[in-house]
Amino acid sequence: SRVAAMSDFNSDPQVPPPPPPAAPAPPAPGYAPPPGYGSYPQVAAKPPRPAVPIAGYLCLAGGALLILGSVLNWFSIQGEDFNGFSTVGDETKDGPVFVFFGIVAIGAGITFLAARRVLALAIVALVLEVFAMFGAFADLGDVADAKDIAETFDVDFTTGPGLYVVLLGSLIAIAGNIVALAKRRR
């Protein structure tokens, strides 16, 4: 009978079911997964770094002011004007140094406007513009000392706008580099 053939008491050995197919190895990167498999987890791509035009414009303005302040009048003694390129005794001239810092700030500004990978440049430019700021403060101290000496000897002495423009330029360039550093990861 048919029921007896299906029972467990049947002496006919049954063939075991075939084993499930082995899972294929995952494909090499860049290839599609095999049929029936979901997609492989994707690594999230970093979003593009934002442009930093405000930082670029600040650095351009700061660099221009650094250069302009180097050639403007820093002080006058007895009607003779002195700027960052004038020789007073055997003192070194700081005007070329401030022009260098101005060129660095302008270069950083152009790069901030043209490129998006700005971290290293922003850090280097920030450090150099801080040096420019400290140099401007040191030169302002020197001019103040010279003014005190001139007043002691009743010599006509006036302070010009040059060093203040240099200081303002360095502060604006510092602000531009800080903006670049702050905005680069938003």
Q: What is the pTM of this model?
A: 0.73
Nearest to 58 by CA among 123, 117, 119, 113: 113
* Euclidean distance between CA atoms 65 and 61, whole angstroms: 6
What mean pLDDT do residues 144-159 have? 94
What mean pLDDT do residues 86-114 have? 90
Residue 87 has what pLDDT? 83
Q: Which pLDDT tens digit goes with each residue over 33-49?
A: 666 666 656 666 766 66
Residue 162 has what pLDDT? 97
pLDDT band at 92 (very low <50, low <70, confident <90, very high): confident
Distances from the Cα of 152 to the Cαs of 142, 145, 157, in angstroms?
Answer: 15, 11, 11
* H or E, element range at 11: none
* H or E, element range at 159: strand 157-159
